[in-house]
Structures are given as structure tokens and as C-alpha cells.
């Protein structure tokens, strides 16, 4: 419940901080340059999203072709999507977080953290054989 409250607080506070920063920057450099910066980061974010998405998809396919589990690529995919969404959202804080998600070296560190701390439920990234499990064999028959 604590994490839900934190996320809820962030969703409420970030737009206000973004508007404040946009107004402050607009007051310093002017409205048109501020609008240009916001549009430029959105266009750059869309381009990076496409480029990094295709690169990750190629690595995913290469890992599968070699018979390896593409663990990093599985985690990096959603990170790339979040980064692209953040860059398309107007604001400087969301742009900074979006670029962090789309820079390959930083994204790899985030993915490594997620994998090592097994933040994904079900422990998806460890291979277990059925020999390690108790297997109950039998027949199934549906009775009406």
C-alpha cells in the first residue's frame, strides 16, 4: 500500500512541478525557445524510441537464435516504452527521466538492477528443470 501512495503522490505532484519549471524557463529564455525545446525533445524521443526499440528487438532475436534466454531484452523493452512515453510528455523532468531510459548504458544498469533483485514476480529469469519439481502424472477425463 505504501508504494501505491508514493506513486499516487508522484502522479499528482509531477505535473505541478513540470508546469512551474516550464514557466520559469519560459520566463528566462522566452516562450518560443521553450516551446521549441519541448517539441524538439518529443521528436528526438520518438526517433530514439524507434532506434533503441529496433536494436533491442534485434538483440532479442539474436539471443533466441543462439538458444539463450533474452532476459535483458525482455526487461529493456518496457523500459524503452516508458522512456519514449516520458519523452513525448511535455516537461523537463519527464524528458530527463525519458532520456535515462533510452540511453543504452543506463538502461542496461536499470535492467540489471531489476533482474538481480528479481523485481518481476514469479522469478521468470531462472531456468528450472522439471526434474527439480515434484511431478504428478495422471490422466484427465471430463465428466458431465
Measured between alpha carbons, how far is residue 39 from residues 28, 32, 46, 88 in Å?
A: 18, 10, 11, 9
Residue 17 gets which letter from DSSP?
A: H
The answer to whether residues 45 and 87 touch, using CB atoms and an 8 Å cutoff, is yes
Domain boundaries in the chain?
13-119
Q: For residue 28, what are the contacts with CB-CB under 8 A and spacing of at least 6? A: none
Q: For residue 52, what are the contacts with CB-CB under 8 A and spacing of at least 6? A: 80, 83, 102, 104, 107
Binning pLDDT at 50, 70 and 90, where does residue 128 land? very low
Question: How does pLDDT run across 54-100, given as a tens digit for each residue?
Answer: 999 999 999 999 988 888 899 999 999 999 889 888 899 999 999 99
* pTM check: above 0.85: no
Measured between alpha carbons, how far is residue 121 from residues 115, 118, 127, 129, 144 in Å?
A: 11, 7, 14, 19, 36
pLDDT (0 to 100) of residue 117: 82
Amino acid at each position: 500500500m505504501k508504494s501505491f501512495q508514493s506513486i499516487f503522490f508522484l502522479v499528482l505532484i509531477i505535473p505541478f512541478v513540470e508546469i512551474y519549471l516550464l514557466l520559469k524557463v519560459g520566463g528566462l529564455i522566452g516562450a518560443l525557445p521553450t516551446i521549441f525545446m519541448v517539441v524538439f525533445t518529443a521528436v528526438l524521443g520518438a526517433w530514439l524510441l524507434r532506434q533503441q526499440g529496433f536494436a533491442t528487438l534485434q538483440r532479442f532475436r539474436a539471443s533466441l537464435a543462439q538458444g539463450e534466454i533474452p532476459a535483458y531484452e525482455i526487461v529493456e523493452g518496457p523500459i524503452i516504452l516508458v522512456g519514449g512515453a516520458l519523452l513525448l510528455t511535455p516537461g523537463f523532468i519527464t524528458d530527463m527521466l525519458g532520456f535515462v531510459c533510452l540511453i543504452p548504458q543506463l538502461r542496461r544498469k536499470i535492467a540489471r538492477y531489476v533482474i538481480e533483485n528479481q523485481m518481476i514476480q514469479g522469478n521468470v529469469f531462472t531456468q528450472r528443470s522439471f526434474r527439480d519439481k515434484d511431478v504428478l502424472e495422471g490422466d484427465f477425463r471430463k465428466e458431465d
